[in-house]
Structure 1
Amino acid sequence: MTVWGGLVRTARPQQWTKNILVLVAPAAAGVLLQPERLAAALTAGAAFCLASSGVYFINDVRDVRADRLHPQKCRRPVAAGVVPVPTALAAGVILLLCALGVSAAVSSALVLVLLTYEVVQVTYCLGLKDQPVLELVSVASGFLLRAVAGGVAVAVPLSPWFLVTAGFGSLFMAAGKRYAEAQLVGRTGLAVRPVLRHYTLTYLRFVWTLAAGVLVTTYSLWAFSVHDLSDREQSTWNVVSIIPFVTAVLRYAVNVDSGEAGEPEQIALHDRVLLLLGVLWAAALGASVYG
């Protein structure tokens, strides 16, 4: 592997699928088909792609010694010595700064949201990842800030129900991932991450059950108010969207409970039923807003 190949691999472009969350608020507000606002939302998504890749570089530099002792993470380009530590650190800083520059092309408010994301995620890499509960909130905030950034980029008001739904949906996925990792440790004894020593399966199960309950409740309340955000007449499709949404949450919970909920985007792409439910949910919500 060349240094350039190592840089690309360290940037983890496969993780950029998370940034589709930036489009959720503009889509729900019914403005995604407006060229200027679509361009702003896509620019915000690009900024988050740069920022998230920059964070991965910082993370791999911070963990280089531990990764070299790990049976799987030792293959990471920085740990394997393919990408020198100074090069990786420089690439991370450049990407973080470029992300802020790209977001500045949209608005100062988006810069603030992105800067908050970068500060929280870099702090996570530098030590917050070892603090129980705080690390869960940190991981969840990454998903939430993406959703907030979409609304900020296109200058649409964010419903309180939307914010609570996005927040607890993020916590549900973060806690589910930790639950799966804790089960993996129990089965194999493989040290996945140090913070898991502070959690029990019962506690993590409590967290994602609580998050799922709030998520379903607040989404249902939000779905009844979608038409208010798009200045359209009341539609039954926003209520219909609750059905595939709740079913998808239950389906995702099957993956969580079986210990298979690793990266959320991998579960969504490999579980065809979950993917179909996502399409049905998007179609119902789209019919409500754009129909």
Structure 2
Amino acid sequence: MAHRLLRRERTCRRSDSHRLGEGGETSFGASGRRRSPSARCGSCCQVAGQKERGPVIQALFEAMRPYQWVKNLLVFAPLIFAQKLYDRPSQMGALVAFAAFCCVASGIYLLNDLMDLERDRRHPKKKNRPLPSGRLSPAVAGIAVFVLVGSGLGLAQWRGFLILPLVYFLINVAYSLKLKHLVILDAMCIAIGFLLRVYAGGVAIHVPVSSWLVLCTFFVALLLAFCKRRHELFVLGEEEASGHRKSLEHYSFAFLDQMIAPLGALTVMAYAAYTTSPAAVANFGPKRAHLLVWTVPFVVYGIFRYLFLVHMRSEGGDPTRLLLKDLPTLLNILGWMGTSLWIVYF
């Protein structure tokens, strides 16, 4: 950005010199004093600098992937199912956990984009991201990584759950450097990231996390990860996919479909078993635990709808965008949330 401002300043000076050489009028300030060319040039470059900063901030915010913060809503799951939704200290703890993971996750997205810069420039969709397209400089992105990750870890330290976002950060660094090129382990890393969010939500409000919640989260996160790999194969083609990500050369549509189908079934079975488990009865009482069974159809529909979008419409490359833009899925999630809240709290 600095070299562009310097170029504009030189242009301003040449323009002022040219006008003065032709006998053009010299501008005057409000007091009637003559304004020098350098003063006019300074104001011109100040306006140019403000115009430059706007797109940079916009590009940085876009690269932070704020729409991906939806994933961090998982930190509120322990708050809801522990029946502490109206407890002020627990609310504050969950909000801090949410903010901490938003900061760390955005820093990781920027770091991953920096590491994959050359590969992303050859990708049909990722080339339009702020860093590969040149709208955001690597220097600005690098500074933002330190600020975001440092802020997130600082918030976590304040609430006493530093180890969880720190492990999340380290796993994602290892993922960016090596693990994303290892078949199956690449998807497992993504799933573990979801689990760490859930555990952070529990530690931040000082409640234990249900093993059933852990199982459901792990299965559905692994399902989303393999569906994402399937979409990458579809977009890039099985022959060219390995050039973008080494692990993709070991995946095939047949293999991924064999992984996706049982994970969908396991997610439904784990959730259904939870609604009828002794743990649910102990947490919510016999009457409310019995009513939780009525939330199972929402989970079944949500899994089936997502598999329909993946297999019949070849979507799933960005699960967060897909969940937010597909109206039936969004309404189903809101229906599940509303029904669950009504059963647990009313």
State the distance in 1 between where 2:121 and 2:264 align: 36
Q: Which has the larger radius of gyration?
A: 2
Letter of the aligned partner of 2:221 in structure 1? S
Further displaced range: 89-98 or 76-85:
76-85
Post-superposition Cα deviations, 1:228-279, rounded to whole Å, max 9, x if no partner, equal 235x443232111112111211111111222211222222222222222212
Answer yes or no: is the 8 Å Cα contact 1:237–1:285 preserved in 2. no
State the distance in 2 between where 1:82 and 1:176 align: 30
State the distance in 1 between where 2:117 and 2:281 align: 49
Further displaced range: 2-11 or 54-63:
2-11
Alignment of 1:75-114 (within 5 A): 75-107=128-160, 110-114=161-165
1:49 corresponding residue in structure 2: 102
Further displaced range: 263-272 or 201-210:
263-272
Change (3 A) 1:223 1:44: same
Post-superposition Cα deviations, 1:171-195, rounded to whole Å, max 9, x if no partner, equal 0111111122222334996766442
Question: Residue 133 of structure 2 aligns to a residue in which SS?
Answer: coil
Is residue 239 of structure 1 aligned with residue 308 of structure 2? no
1:73 aligned residue (99, 102, 126): 126
Is residue 25 of structure 1 aligned with residue 78 of structure 2? yes
State the distance in 2 between where 1:247 and 1:223 align: 16
Which has the bigger relative contact order, CA under 8 A and spacing at least 6? Answer: 1
Letter of the aligned partner of 1:238 in structure 2? L
1:251 aligned residue (302, 305, 309): 305
2:198 corresponding residue in structure 1: 147
Q: Aligned pairs, how many?
A: 288
Using structure 2 for the length normalisation, give the TM-score. Answer: 0.78
Post-superposition Cα deviations, 1:155-185, rounded to whole Å, max 9, x if no partner, equal 1111211111111111011111112222233
Using structure 1 for the length normalisation, give the TM-score. Answer: 0.91
Letter of the aligned partner of 2:247 in structure 1? V
Question: Residue 135 of structure 2 aligns to a residue in which SS?
Answer: coil
State the distance in 2 between where 1:244 and 1:74 align: 37
Is residue 204 of structure 1 aligned with residue 228 of structure 2? no
Answer yes or no: is the 8 Å Cα contact 1:169–1:215 preserved in 2. yes
Change (3 A) 1:9 1:217: same
Backbone CA RMSD of aligned residues = 2.1
Letter of the aligned partner of 1:129 in structure 2? K
Change (3 A) 1:25 1:91: same
Consecutive aligned runs of 4 or more in structure 1 exceeding 4 Å deviation:
187-192
Letter of the aligned partner of 2:198 in structure 1? A
Post-superposition Cα deviations, 1:74-115, rounded to whole Å, max 9, x if no partner, equal 3322223333323322211221121110112222xx211111
CA drift at 1:55? 0.1
State the distance in 1 between where 2:230 and 2:146 align: 32
Question: Residue 234 of structure 1 aligns to a residue in which SS?
Answer: helix
1:37 corresponding residue in structure 2: 90
Change (3 A) 1:123 1:150: same
1:265 corresponding residue in structure 2: 320
2:216 corresponding residue in structure 1: 165
Question: Residue 232 of structure 2 aligns to a residue in which SS?
Answer: helix
2:187 corresponding residue in structure 1: 136
CA drift at 1:226? 3.0
